[in-house]
Amino acid sequence: MLTITDYTPLSAVRIAAAVQAGELSALEVVDAALACVEERDVTVRAFREIWPGQARERAAEIDARVRQGDQLPLAGVPLGIKATEGLNAFQSERLIAAGCVPIGTTSVPHRGSGWQTYGHTDRGPTTNPLNPARSPGGSSAGSAAAVAAGMVPLATGSDGAGSARIPAAWCAILGLKPTNGAFPARDRAGLNTPGPLARHAHDAAAYLHALAGHQDTAPPVPWSPCTVAWSPTLGFADTTPEIATTARAALERLTDAGLLMLTDTTVLLNDPAPAWSSLRSTQHDHHSDITELISGNDRHLQELFDQVDILATPTTPHPPHGHDGPGRRMSVALTWAFNISGHPRHHHPRRSHPQRRTRRPSAHHPPRRRTATAPPRHGSEGRGQYRTAGRRQRLTGSPHGGAGGRKSFD
């Protein structure tokens, strides 16, 4: 029998390998996941619904397929499904086809609310596993909280302005906004992309491979340190000094380890808030000033990535807010520019999650230029993070605006 203690440290990749090898059954993994939810979700409230019967039935099917010799890259991996997506969403279907076992829907903001960096359930708000007095972020609130609390190794997210990256930052896990156009967008403007919430980088990679429908067969690229530009504000954000200091310290640990080479490069983007709002509106004709704002930022980013591989920033300009909301603070200030530009954007925790042993960060030479960002601290706990975003392949996006992370951007 797989205990909760044995289950929670397991990565998705390790679970799948054990299920394929017959070391574990999908059913016992799912039973452990459900037991973990029963124990921990009383206070976290990451899930809106749990499907024990469906999950066990699906796990039994996975076990039968493995016995028949089927190779499933995510065999038996418990999965949280973002409530606004459901089982018929593109990424849900791809992950289920790869062997994942959905166990329930994760919380999102209440429909019609102004600010979006929280999760709503009929049992109360979703809490941050690192500090219950704080919000986990949003709108992929429950997905991030469930992964951070060890209830599932993977959960689905979507990101139209930071909805996967912000909760990943505030819950100290991994979150990724893929390149716009790499997968089907969830909005007309093309800004909202599917993406993973995970605790391990190799799990996020397996998730993306499942969405792509194939494994990466490209030959490895010889590794060398990536060049990186640092910007705590992108030229316009009101980033608190504590956040900037924490994120910069995380970046310097990577440069000191020889993984990155920091350059003296200036980053001066225009505030994308008006452009995001315009692109998400029902009006198809944009004012010339909006067009110039977008094209100006595009030009600057093109020039930047002609010089460096990575742009590093904090993930959010301020720490996680309480359950009463962000006030006038703009949680998305450092995220939504890249939903417009189309660049991939990755959030990486400043340090290892409490449930994991401390690890040395890994790095590789990316096949295309990328950008990165680092996030905030959890009150007195000092959780900080940084993220990375890659050179865009295609511009299909649109942004959003509003004070304090307001307006819907999931």
Per-residue pLDDT tens listing for the chain (410 residues): 999 999 999 999 999 999 999 999 999 999 999 999 999 999 999 999 999 999 999 999 999 999 999 999 999 999 999 999 999 999 999 999 999 999 999 999 987 666 689 999 999 999 999 999 999 999 999 999 999 999 999 999 999 999 999 999 999 999 999 999 999 998 888 999 999 999 999 999 999 999 998 766 678 778 889 999 999 999 999 999 999 999 999 999 999 999 999 999 999 999 999 999 999 886 666 688 999 999 999 999 999 999 999 999 999 999 999 999 888 888 999 999 999 999 999 998 865 444 433 322 222 223 344 444 443 333 333 333 334 444 333 222 222 233 333 333 44
Can you give the C-alpha Rg of the chain in angstroms?
Answer: 20
Burial annotation 67-86 (CB, 10 A radius, 16+ → b, else e): eeeeebbbbbbbbbbbbbbe
Bridge partner residues of 104 (DSSP): 50, 80
Is residue 407 annotated as part of the catalytic site, yes or no? Answer: no
Work out the number of other CB atoms within 10 angstroms of the CB of residue 375.
Answer: 36
Is residue 139 annotated as part of the catalytic site, yes or no? Answer: yes
3-state SS, residue 341 = helix
Bridge partner residues of 176 (DSSP): 346
4-212: CATH homologous superfamily? Answer: Amidase signature (AS) domain (3.90.1300.10)
Q: Which of 82, 92, 158, 407 is catalytic?
A: 82
> pTM score, two decimals?
0.86
| CA–CA gap between residue 260 and residue 309 (Å, rounded) | 10
Is residue 82 annotated as part of the catalytic site, yes or no? Answer: yes
Q: Which of 140, 163, 231, 278 is catalytic?
A: 163
Q: DSSP letters of 138-187?
A: SSSHHHHHHHHTTS-SEEEEEESSSTTHHHHHHTTSEEEEPPTTSS--SS
Q: Which of 11, 25, 135, 139 is catalytic?
A: 139
Q: Which residue type occupies 320?
A: P
| Cis bond upstream, residue 139 (ω within 30) | yes
Report the relative pairing of strands 370-374 and 174-177 from DSSP bridges.
unpaired
Q: CA separation (Å) from 81 to 34, 63, 241, 275?
A: 14, 21, 36, 30
Domain boundaries, the chain: 4-212, 226-405
